[in-house]
Structure 1
Amino acid sequence: MSDIKAIFITGGGSGIGRAVAVYFAARGWRVGLADVNEAGLAETAGMLPADMAHLYKMDVRDRDAWIASLDDFTELAGGRLDVLFNNAGIGTGGPFAQATFDDIDRTIAINFTGVVNGARIGHAYLARTPGSCLLNTASASAIYGSAGLAVYSATKFAVRALTEALDGEWAADGINVRDLVPGFIETPLLDGVAGGTNRSIRESVTGAGLELTPASDVAAAAWAAVHGDKVHTYVGKTAFRLAFAARWMPGRLRKQMRRGVVTPRD
């Protein structure tokens, strides 16, 4: 088995995936980048050492593509997969009652089923590498259901639950299972919107007075999560505030959500 550690990242064409790729590559890791966005993959690869980046045009909903990509990457990595970063996701927001079923189905399929696919298929590859880690991207929306982000929030709750369950199941296999719980990160994902509104999630978030966290902060948190013992790693002020409020001030948090903390305002 190769001495060079290896990480496979979905959603590697931008945002958090790109930042994590740069961070790990700078520390000598081989990086597999997967995304549906070929141009984004090429841009990320241009930030990494040429001989350490491997690109895969891949939709996380496609199980055959998962197998083909991981087969190829682990062969190039000398048989090892130290980290599988289940990061790909889309941002959708707006009033739930106005959301189209196409938007709902797509959000669930990418944000949760895609993570399930990665975990289920990735297990066999991770189990071959001692001390490996499955790292999932959840969200501060997984702390308390977020008004205006109902389906997105539900998928991230599911990712958090899957992480906790597999942390228990896979301990005997020598696989650590962790997740990142970031607040609102400065990535293209915030440009997404659905549900019959003409405002982006970014506009809704900043309009509510909430801060945006740099993707580079998430990359450092990913490194800490992979090398630490915490199941959930919170990133950004919003995530910590929501965690505190959900535990100690649930009534107040409920009132805030009823006023539409992150929903578009006229």
Structure 2
Amino acid sequence: MTMGEVPVGERRAIFITGGGSGIGRAIAILFAGRDWQVGLGDVDARGMAETAALLPGGAMTWVLDVCDRPAWARVLGDFVQKAGRLDVLVNNAGIATGGALASMSESDIDRVIAINFTGVVNGARAGHAFLKATPGSVLLNVASASAIWGSPGLSVYSATKFAVRGLTEALDGEWTADGIKVASLMPGFIDTPLLRVNVSGSNRTARDGVVAGGFEFTPVERVAEAAWDAVHGDRLHTPVGPTAKRLTFAARWLPGKLRRQMKARRR
């Protein structure tokens, strides 16, 4: 250890799923740049290695399928043993497979639910004891603007993000006695690899739909800054980007108009 370094166990520690790209990578870069220990979990080992190479001091990485409960326990246990603590767990891993419900394959439906919601539940359960043991800890779930109002053409995806929102609200009350803060991010459209997957039953990607709809993309760095603010603030849900903020306003004050707009867009 060199002069001025903080010993392992005293530096705050964050574990991020989906850390091989996109939002997970941006959060890792920001927190590492502010002297946090970073752990990454992803099915993409190459992507995690690329993320780690961007961080001062690198990162600890584990190949992790968020649907694998025993793997969650093993990976977080290993991370906490090495880092000495778990201040923040970011449930970020997810997929953006879309399409109308009637045209989605059963396997796509099951996969979206398993990764986007069951994986978040698995992470929360596995992380609870470690977060409880760290004063001032935070569980940060990455939901979506699709959790503000159901998104036609993304019905199953939207439903999983509403489920993440509900879980966040429930655990916010449930875990307060354990000293764990729970919060969510609700980003609008972020131009990450997640949007470049083909919509179920078509040759178009989710990104194509965003562009065709005239929506804007929010820089991924803005989501990382929102994550920092959520960890250090007291807000339960944080909409990120113009689309998410407009939806938040319309869902609260103009729900009838928003519903009509959603129907008109599908026609």
TM-score (norm 2): 0.95
Aligned partner of 2:153 in structure 1 is: 148
Indicate the residue corresponding to 2:67 in structure 1.
61
> Which of 33, 39, 50 is the matching residue for 1:32?
39
1:113-157 Cα deviation digits (max 9, x unpaired): 000000011101100000000000000000010001000000000
1:92 CA displacement: 1.2
C-alpha distance in structure 1 between counterparts of 2:251 and 2:212, whole Å: 22
* Cα distance in structure 2, aligned partners of 1:173 and 1:18: 29
Q: 11-20 vs 247-256, which deviates more?
A: 247-256
CA contact 2:199–2:206 (8 Å) conserved in 1: no
Task: Write the distance in 2 (CA, Å) between the matches of 1:247 and 1:97.
Answer: 29
Report what 2:52 is aligned to: 45
Residue from 15, 19, 29 that aligns with 2:26? 19
**Cα shift at 1:30:** 0.3
Question: CA contact under 8 A between 1:36 and 1:58: conserved in structure 2?
Answer: yes
What fraction of aligned residue pairs are identical, expressed as a percent? 64
Q: Give the Cα separation in 2 of the matches to 1:18 and 1:195.
A: 26
Ranges in structure 2 where 5+ consecutive residues have no aligned partner: 1-7
Secondary structure of 1:88 counterpart:
coil
Matched, 1:257 2:257: no
By how many angstroms is 1:159 displaced?
0.1
- C-alpha distance after superposition, 1:151-194 (max 9, x if no partner): 00000000000000000011110000000010011111111233
Q: Measure, in 2, the Cα distance between the counterparts of 1:4 and 1:95.
A: 46
Deviation at 1:96, TM superposition (A): 1.4
Name the SS for the 2:265 alignment partner: coil
Secondary structure of the corresponding residue to residue 93 of structure 2: coil
* 1:22 partner SS: helix
Give the letter aligned to residue 234 of structure 1.
P
Structure 2 distance, partners of 1:33, 1:122, is 14
TM-score if structure 1 supplies the norm length? 0.95
- The answer on 1:103 being equivalent to 2:108 is yes
Structure 1 stretch displaced more, 243-252 or 151-160: 243-252
Tell me if structure 1 keeps the 8 A contact 2:13–2:88.
yes
Measured at CA, do residues 13 and 102 of structure 1 come closer, stay the same or move farther in structure 2, by a change above 3 Å? Answer: same
3-state DSSP class of the match of 1:246? helix
Tell me the alpha carbon deviations over residues 40-81 of structure 1, each in whole angstroms, 9 at most, x when there is no partner.
01100100123x510000100001110111111001112x10
Alignment of 1:117-266 (within 5 A): 117-260=122-265
1:182-212 CA distances to partner (integer Å, 9 max, x unpaired)? 0011111111233312111111011111101
Unaligned runs of 5+ in 1: none
Aligned residues: 260
Do 1:13 and 1:44's aligned partners in 2 also have CA atoms closer than 8 Å?
yes
CA RMSD of aligned residues (A): 1.2
Q: Is 11-20 or 1-10 further displaced after alignment?
A: 1-10
Name the aligned partner's letter for residue 100 of structure 2.
Answer: P
Taking the aligned partners of 2:56 and 2:73, their CA distance within structure 1 comes to 25
The answer as to whether partners of 2:137 and 2:180 remain within 8 angstroms in 1 is yes
